[in-house]
Structure 1
Amino acid sequence: MHKKLNGLTAAEVEESRKKHGANSIPEAEPETFWQLFLEGFQDPMIRILCVIAVIMFGMFLVGESDWYEPVGTIIAILLVNFVSARTGVANDRAYRDLKASQKKDTVKVLRESVIKVIPADEVVVGDVILLQSGDKILADGILAEGALSVDNSALNGEAEECPKSEAPDGFAIPETITGDTFVDAHSLFRGATVLDGEGYMIVQKVGLDTMMGKMAKDMEDKEPDSPLKVKLNKLAGQISVFGYIGAIIIALAYFVHFVMLAGGLSAYLATGGLSILGDVMNAIAIAITIIVCAVPEGLPLVIALVLMQNTGKLLKVNVLVRKSIGIETAGSLNILFSDKTGTITKGQLEVVEFFDGCGRTTDINTAAAMREALHLSIGKNTGALFDDQHHVVGGNMTDQALLKFLGEEAFHALAARDDCEIGAQQDFNSANKFSQAYLPGQGRTFYKGAPERLLAKAKKCLDTQGNEVDIDETALGQKIDDLANRAMRVLAFGYSREKLVRDEIHDDLVLIGLVGIRDDVRPEAREAIEEVQKAGIQVVMITGDRRETAMAIAREANLYHGGDELVLTSAELAEMSDDEVKKIIPRIRVISRALPTDKSRMVRLCQEMNLVVGMTGDGVNDSPALKRADVGFAMGSGTEVAKEAGKLVILDDNFNSIKNAIWYGRTLYINILKFCKMQLVINLAAVFVSAISPFIGIESPLKVTHLLWINLCMDSLASLMFAGEPALKKYMRMKPRRRDESIISRPMAIQIVIMSIWLTILSLVWFKVPFFRACFATEAQWYTGFFCMFVFAFMVNAFNVRSDSLNVFEHIGENKRFIHIWLAIMAVQVLLVSIGGVIGEIFSCVRFGLDGWIAVCLMALTMYPVDLIRKVLTPKPKA
């Protein structure tokens, strides 16, 4: 160690901490239950419910409403916000528990000439940190002494070794960080990892002043509204217009009705002020009922419950939900920007292929002599080794990949053999492009190095039987070119029977074979990408790698097929205006040499095109784009800054898990649509019945308490039925939805209108056909029977909306909860009618006999055949 590196004294540490601060990067404060609870009042549906509650309370004060009507609505609002807030807190706690379970980072710091191990948060500017192979770099600084090879992939996405050398006196990290700054010869950044070597770093920036800290501050921007929130805003507006305009028109119609009954306007005015006031209050009461009927009060609660139910399902497929709305957003994606390293590829170099001197791919395990020679060439020409935890440590990334290919058992077996001791050795260097080791016990020198260096000397190669045969230079050249086109690094191995001579390869070299090394594509990612593309989602790989490497990986991952598809570099993007980029976005498949600004720019442009955008990433450089995207998929092995930015954390770093998140997101949205169809049928029918009934002499067939019971209590249970609906493969073949697309599509509207009209007809028949009145002993029983028929029809329609096919029991075995909850709801409805007392008074219900129940069931069951006819006569929704 150089004399100048003595480290700070205790006093200097305190002074530096006061001046520059600590090395901690404060994480975002978790939102409290009450913050999330109050945030719920921003929901458009909740706002409508609040207006209704205020109006109902006013009606109660003037004696036109019962106390339990406004109270029921207020309870509904509080219940929705409670469930939503509790889900948000639970998701955040799960993430923080995962984070807390991970071991805290420590550093080896030199203070007062003594090496001490301290928590990373206690590092200060001026500290001297000892860096060794495998260490994380946990502050920004410069290499003051030694030589290192570092991995900056967490910062720039490039899985490449970056050599670092001793900085000259006075060298400082540049204030402006660019993509080239990461790979300069002397600068070291928080988030990088030491691959090989040893050295001392002088800390120049800590905490929020580090490049990682600045990234964390950049993520304070407001997130875009989720697609579901956009759709709900639109639906709330439509329902508000329908409900309020409908209420005003019907209220005015009632005034006209009252005037006509009185014999004209003059006669009506002559009835007196009190009579007219009574009619006004009656008309307002009817209008309030219409508004209550129109608004799906249970929808916010349903969405909250369904999101809560699905967080557990996704955790089972390695997706940790940080923000519940991210689930549905994942299912709405139009375009997905995916990081390469660790997501599409495995995130580490490995030997992908071994081939002999004639260019033939060979299974090394079936060729004993070739295997023996290769093991010696790898095991005795490496700076890597296996530690006591069975991990490969030391050496560079290539050495580590080769040692994994060799295997721990073979490595230790070589170490135990007396005939494999090294007599002389020369390490790899950039000038020679090879390393060599002489083994006296073998009487041979073994080489590992660049193919062009070894092939310049080799004329013979080993075959699978261990014979030395002529090299097929043409076939071998074609094989090497092919692997190079696939972005593989090729290494050659050989031996000579001569003793080691420094910086030379002997002319009698025999080629053992060659290997192709690469950060290879995950097999499951290839299939998942294909499924996501079939789902109509454009996948774009965005990486820091050079164009040729990125293009080769994209081809093997089924991302890029040539033709009019584009592979662009960061520099090419920078030369284009925003409008020019927007025109070619549908054709882009790969962006190479990407900077963090490129990622954020692409997300912004796609959102301006009304596309729902997803972004995957694991590094600090990905964090701003993860935050800006509609849904950010942070990798579980990634930096904490990235995880803080994402809505979903992919625990296994696998593109297949991203595909599952998209699949479950689509399933969740489709299940919400099923519920919407079920509820809006009953709501629309309630509007029609409430509007028509007074004109034909039927007094308030549905009370406000009836509607609240249907829209809240029953719906909360019904939401659990649909939350368990299975994820079907056909959902991944449906086209993506636009951000501003209406929740209610044309086929959905047809189903809602037809079934609500049919339920309205059933209601009018119930009151106008004498047969149904005859099934009940009293008028109170008759009205109670109508309430039960209305609810039972609602529950029969639950089967209709499950599937677009004629078989309403399709896949019911995969959701047994549906049947259990359906039976429970029906039982609760029967009990509600049978209890009597205060409950009966609140819900205006009385007991009735068997004849009445038979009439109720027969009328409700007609919902099934009518919807079957609709399905046959109307076109199915397009996939």
Structure 2
Amino acid sequence: MNTGLTEEEVQKSRQKYGDNTISIAKKESFIRKLIATLGDPIIKILLIALAIKTLFLFQNFDWYETIGIVIAIFLASFISTLSEYGSEKAFEQLQAEASKIKTRVRRNQELKEITIDEVVVGDIIKLSAGDEIPADGKILSGKISVNEANLNGETKETEKSRSSKVYRSTVVYSGMATMLVEKVGNQTVYGKLAEEVSEKKPTSPLKLRLVKLAEFISKIGYVGAALVTISYLFSEIVIDNNFDPDKIYQTITNFPLMFAFILKALTLSVTIIVVAVPEGLPMMITLVLSSNMKRMLKSNILVRKLMGIETAGNINILFTDKTGTITEGKLNVIAIVDAKGHTYKTESDLKTNKTYYTQVKLSLVANNDSDYDENQNPIGGNITDRAILKFFKDDNFQYNIKAKKPFSSEKKYSITKVTYENKEINLIKGAPEIILSKCTHYYENGRKRFLIDKKEIESQISKAASKGIRVLAFATSETYENPSRLSFIGLAFIKDEIRKEAIEGLELIEKAHIKTIMLTGDNIETARNIGKEIGLLKNKDDLIITSDELHKKTDAEVKKILPNLKIIARSLPQDKSRLVKLAQSLNLVVGMTGDGVNDAPALKKADVGFAMGSGTEVAKEASDIVILDDNLLSLSKAVLYGRTIFKSIRKFIIFQLTVNLCAVSISIIGPFIGVETPVTVIQMLWINMVMDTLAGIAFSFEPALKEYMEEKPKDKNEPIINKYMIDEIMFTGTYSALMCVFFLKSPFIHSIFRDGPNDMYLMTAFFGLFIFMGIFNSFNARTHRLNLLANLSKNKVFLAVIIFILIVQIYLMYYGGDLFRTYGLNPIEFEIMILLALTVIPVDFLRKIYLRKKGQIGGV
């Protein structure tokens, strides 16, 4: 059985018991989402309008407008649903593809890595700390500590040994074991739970803020609609009857006439509500995220939680690991050094001293959490253990492991009890200062000798540390439980090259006004050398301390040194949690990187937890964002995308609320200046589609600009609409409304357009003016620069959407007919309308120049 399944047995098992995929409770289908949109405020209002028009079937019934409302309801629902459903589906598919979990399985007498979906009944799985258990089964050998919180909510770890049952989705916290898979997929306990329960994702904070903003604006729209209804009825019933009680009574008792007044009043209120309620605002989050998802994945950023990418742009302080993040994470053993200072740079060099070679290889290969796969490539375990196996090429010793304690950050060593050539040996390896302090002997030519003078060994450690080389000491111990009276075997020098991109990433993070603190398990000399090399230690005030020194300081003392703190050497996982808590108490937005089991608490506590792609599943589960290539430059891009997403939403808000303000203003003012319906319900539906769905798509593809990384982080409590935005919305919205009033009431404008029933050509042009002013203002909204075309080529979707709107609008103006109340314009009429709409650009240009002169130019 220990040889694992053959390929033929795998296929038979899959046919008989099924695969290991989980069929979770069905997500909301497109049809269900479409039906659900009928509950949206806009659709409800339109349905009410449709019902009213149907009731008045024989009272001057307008077939065109009624059919138009039916079409509008369908289009508004369909396009909104299609956009949101498509975005959500694309986002979830990309997430699932990028976050597949791998596990180690024995097949065809070889150990290999596969995704958990490929696991079948009968597979033998190798488990170690940080692994997520891929299926239900039982332990064949070994001992592990498992966290089963995913199944039962209990955070207390459970010990599992031979014959114990283990379950899918639970996590190994410590130890090593092999398990036999007995149930897969929906037959597992986790699978059955997933069938019954559809996890409802919590609404992200930014989406909640957008929902509240939309609700607030909607209330203003409802109040405006109510005022218009009351004002219109008061005007028709009271003012037009010169306040004569008898005439007022006659009007009220004339039911057909009153029905007509009420219908007209409700039509006006519907028009205002349709444009005032920004129902597309909350959907903007999904649009922006889905449009950026592929770009983020290309930059090796996997967003697990919406909250993470929303908050990433606001980080003030970042606590980062060194290995694999700042360094390449491709560790190489560059030398083995014995007690006398003799250096062996390769396995071939070691083989020249056969006795010493056997001691070294047994010590480092047997006391190791990694394994060789079928191609003799190291898999599993941590990167240090994999580097050691890479140095030795193979494991051809015959030894039996009796007991094992994996490396822990607290103890800073691992120990394994083995039997080799009928002898029981306790092999220990770890931090040099820990191992060396317990050494009383050393080996020379296979014999133990008293270790009287440790200076030669300490000198070797110091020289390596000063060059940024990591040092590992290894020895034998007389006892297993409490290692003591160690016999020193040697030192392993391990080199991890600095990532060139990490230096660039650190520079970008620094420019973004984010403080970076590096936490490393290296000793203080190695840490200092690396800190200087990457530019983290520049000034004499820059502080580097050890974990022990940190523990001796009170919380108040740590807060005091935090501004100058750059590096913590010999750091422990609990240091991370403490630092997160203290930084947050100073109202800082905290980012934290991690890859190990013990990093999970700090990743959860941080405002944004960044797990490394090569890290444990525990760390990934606890994180908000996974950096797939473990690269600090990629992490800096996550910050950039966080800022870009927030800015894209703000640009959209400026655009939408400017159109809202103009539309509501003109709809309220219209009846009082002799224009009862400046914009019809059908026209307003097209306007609504332009400013919600289409504009949302256009702004969601705004580029991530490097200049965003030179700005200070936003305060986490900063309102979603700032003063700059309010000023722009009020200024441009008011100007647009005044331009509309001027267009409708100016004798000069009237003289340009041909006469026709109900000013048909003037009102056609007015519909065009309104849309084109909104389109041209979208260029103002997307940048605070004077050059409106800045970076426009980087958002081709924006240009495509604008061109599409222009084409459709021109078509509607010439072929909309009675449905859209449009009857075509001659060239001069069209040119005048376009020129007046274009004025929104120079007017906003003057506003920007004025702000620059006052030194108040801000932006989103």
Q: Same fold (TM over 0.5)?
A: yes
Q: Deviations over 1:384-439 (max 9, x none)?
A: 598873635899976753675x6989xxxxxxxxxxxxxxxx9995587999797x
Distance across 1 between alignment mates of 2:612 and 2:790: 36
Confirm or deny that 1:310 pairs with 2:292: yes
Q: Match of 1:827?
A: 807
Shift of 1:123: 7.6
Deviation at 1:200?
A: 8.1
Which of 765, 769, 774 pairs up with 2:742? Answer: 765
In the superposition, relative to structure 1, how do residues 435 and 604 fare at CA in structure 2: closer, same or farther (>3 Å)? closer
Q: CA deviation at 1:223?
A: 6.2
Cα distance between partner residues in 1 of 2:634 and 2:642: 12
Residues 569, 594 of structure 1: 8 Å contact kept: no
Query: Do structure 1's residue 796 and structure 2's residue 789 form an aligned pair?
Result: no
Distance 2:691 2:701 in 1: 16
The structure 1 residue matched to 2:24, chosen from 6, 26, 29, is: 29
Quote how far apart the aligned CAs of 1:313 are.
1.5
Secondary structure (helix, strand or coil) at the match of 2:494 reads strand
Instruction: Give SS of 1:382's match.
Output: helix
Q: Separation in 1 of the partners of 2:639 and 2:760?
A: 51
Q: Name the counterpart of 2:661.
A: 684
What amino acid maps onto 2:508 in structure 1? E
Alignment of 1:692-707 (within 5 A): 692-707=669-684
Check the 8 A contact 1:524/1:656 in 2, yes or no: yes
Change (3 A) 1:194 1:564: closer
Q: What does residue 811 of structure 1 align with?
A: 791
**Matched ranges for 1:80-99 at <5 A:** 80-98=80-98
State the match for 1:243 in structure 2.
221
Cα deviation for residue 808 of structure 1 reads 0.7
CA distance in 2 between counterparts of 1:549 and 1:207 reads 50
Q: Does residue 253 in structure 1 map to residue 231 in structure 2?
A: yes
Cα offset, 1:787, TM superposition? 0.7
Partners of 1:221 and 1:101 lie apart in 2 by 20
Deviation, 1:852, is 0.8
Give the partner amino acid of 1:89.
K
Aligned to 1:59: 52
Instruction: Check 1:248–1:629 CA distance in 2 against 1; reply closer, same or farther (3 A cut).
Output: farther
Shift in CA distance, 400/370, structure 1 to aligned 2, threshold 3 Å:
closer
The CA deviation string for residues 303-361 of structure 1, in whole angstroms up to 9 with x for no partner, is: 443332222212211224456675445435566665666445555644589999999xx
Q: Which runs of 5+ in 1 are unaligned?
A: 8-21, 110-117, 156-174, 183-187, 410-425, 439-444, 459-472, 493-502
Summarize the alignment of residues 694-773 of structure 1 with structure 2, pairs less than 5 Å apart. 694-713=671-690, 715-773=692-750
1:524 aligned partner, one-letter code = E
CA contact (8 A) 1:334 1:738 kept: no
Q: What does residue 243 of structure 2 align with?
A: 264
Q: Is the 8 A contact 1:80 1:300 kept in 2?
A: no
Q: Is the 8 A contact 1:297 1:708 kept in 2?
A: no
TM-aligned CA deviation for residue 849 of structure 1: 0.7
- 1:248 and 1:304 map into 2 onto residues whose CA distance is 32
Q: Residue in 2 aligned with 1:296?
A: 278
Match of 1:231 in 2: 209
8 Å contact kept, 2:318–2:592 = yes
Q: Which amino acid in the other structure matches residue 656 of structure 1? A: L
Residue by residue over 1:13-62, the C-alpha shift from the partner in whole angstroms, topping out at 9 and shown as x without a partner, is xxxxxxxxx9x9996936614399659969xx984335434543443344
- Kept in 2, the 8 Å contact 1:326–1:647? The answer is yes
Quote the residue 1:876 is aligned against.
857
1:134·1:393 contact (CA, 8 Å) conserved in 2?
no
Query: How many Å separate the matches in 1 of 2:763 and 2:26?
Result: 48
Which residue identity is paired with 1:80? S
Q: Which moved further from structure 2: 528-537 or 226-235? A: 528-537
Post-superposition offset of 1:686:
0.9
Q: CA offset at residue 105 of structure 1?
A: 3.6
Structure 1 Cα separation of the partners of residues 551 and 22 of structure 2: 36
CA contact (8 A) 1:129 1:203 kept: yes
Please say if 1:594 is aligned against 2:537: no
When residues 358 and 868 of structure 1 are mapped into structure 2, their CA distance, relative to the original with a 3 A threshold, is farther
Q: Distance in 2 between matches of 1:866 and 1:852?
A: 22
Partner Cα distance (1:357, 1:432) in 2: 11
Q: State the Cα distance separating 1:529 from its structure 2 match.
A: 4.3
**In structure 1, how many angstroms separate the alpha carbons of the residues matched to 2:675 and 2:470?**
81
Indicate how the Cα distance of structure 1 residues 399 and 122 shifts in structure 2: closer, same or farther if over 3 A, else same: closer
Distance 2:730 2:300 in 1: 41
Return the alpha-carbon distance in structure 2 between the equivalents of residues 304 and 504 of structure 1: 59
Cα–Cα, structure 1 residues 804 and 551, in superposed 2: closer, same or farther, change >3 Å?
A: same
Secondary structure of the 1:262 match is coil
Task: Provide the secondary structure at the position in 2 that maps to 1:756.
Answer: helix
Confirm or deny: 8 A CA contact 1:317 1:657 kept in the other structure. yes
Could you tell me whether the CA contact under 8 Å between 2:665 and 2:737 is conserved in 1? yes
Secondary structure in structure 2 of the residue aligned to 1:66: helix
1:680 aligned partner, one-letter code: L
For residue 361 of structure 2, give the secondary structure of its aligned residue in structure 1. Answer: coil
What is the alpha-carbon root mean square deviation over aligned residues? 6.4
State the Cα deviation string for residues 360-389 of structure 1 (Å, max 9, x = none): xxxx9xxx9999968968988535598873
* CA distance 1:481–1:433, change in 2 (3 Å): farther
Residues 139 and 810 (structure 1 numbering): CA distance in 2 closer, same or farther, change over 3 Å?
closer
Query: What is the aligned partner in structure 1 of residue 833 from structure 2?
Result: 856
The one-letter amino acid of 2:823's match is: V
What secondary structure, in the 3-state scheme, does the structure 1 residue paired with 2:753 have?
coil
Q: Percent identity?
A: 33
Q: Counterpart of 1:305 in structure 2: which amino acid?
A: L
**1:800, 1:808 within 8 Å by CA — same for their partners in 2?**
yes
In terms of mean alpha carbon deviation, does 820-829 or 785-794 score higher?
A: 820-829
Give the corresponding residue for 1:479.
Answer: 463
Cα 1:352–1:141, aligned 2, differ >3 Å: closer, same or farther?
A: farther
SS at structure 2 position matched to 1:296: coil
Distance in 1, Cα, partners of 2:669 & 2:729: 19
Q: One-letter code of the match for 2:79?
A: L
- Tell me which amino acid in the other structure corresponds to 2:463: K
Unpaired segments ≥5 residues, structure 2: 5-16, 110-116, 148-153, 161-165, 366-370, 395-423, 429-437, 475-484
SS at match of 1:489: strand
Task: Give the number of equivalent residue pairs.
Answer: 749
Alignment of 1:68-79 (within 5 A): 68-69=68-69, 72-73=72-73, 75-79=75-79
CA contact (8 A) 1:137 1:194 kept: no
- In structure 2, C-alpha distance between the alignment counterparts of 1:553 and 1:206, rounded to whole Å: 49
Secondary structure in 2 matching 1:637: coil
> How many Å apart are 1:291 and its aligned residue?
1.9
Q: Which amino acid counterpart does residue 279 of structure 1 have in structure 2?
A: F
Relative to structure 1, the CA distance from residue 795 to residue 129 in structure 2 (aligned partners, 3 Å threshold; closer, same or farther) is closer
SS at match of 1:700: coil
The one-letter amino acid of 2:68's match is Y
CA contact (8 A) 1:616 1:626 kept: yes
CA distance in 2, matches of 1:608, 1:222: 31
Cα separation, 2, equivalents of 1:242 and 1:645: 41
CA contact (8 A) 1:307 1:325 kept: no
C-alpha distance 743-847 of structure 1, shift in aligned 2 (>3 A): same
| Residues 208-240 of structure 1: CA deviation (Å, up to 9, x unaligned) | 9x9x99xx9xx9997654232132023113202
Letter aligned with residue 479 of structure 1: K
- Distance in 2 (alpha carbons) for counterparts of 1:732 and 1:429: 49
Could you report, residue by residue, the CA deviation over 1:757-776 in whole angstroms, capped at 9, with x for unpaired residues? 11112111212222322332
**1:705 CA drift (Å):** 1.8
Q: Deviations over 1:677-730 (max 9, x none)?
A: 222212211111111121111231111222221221465333343333321112
The offset of 1:751, in angstroms, is: 0.8
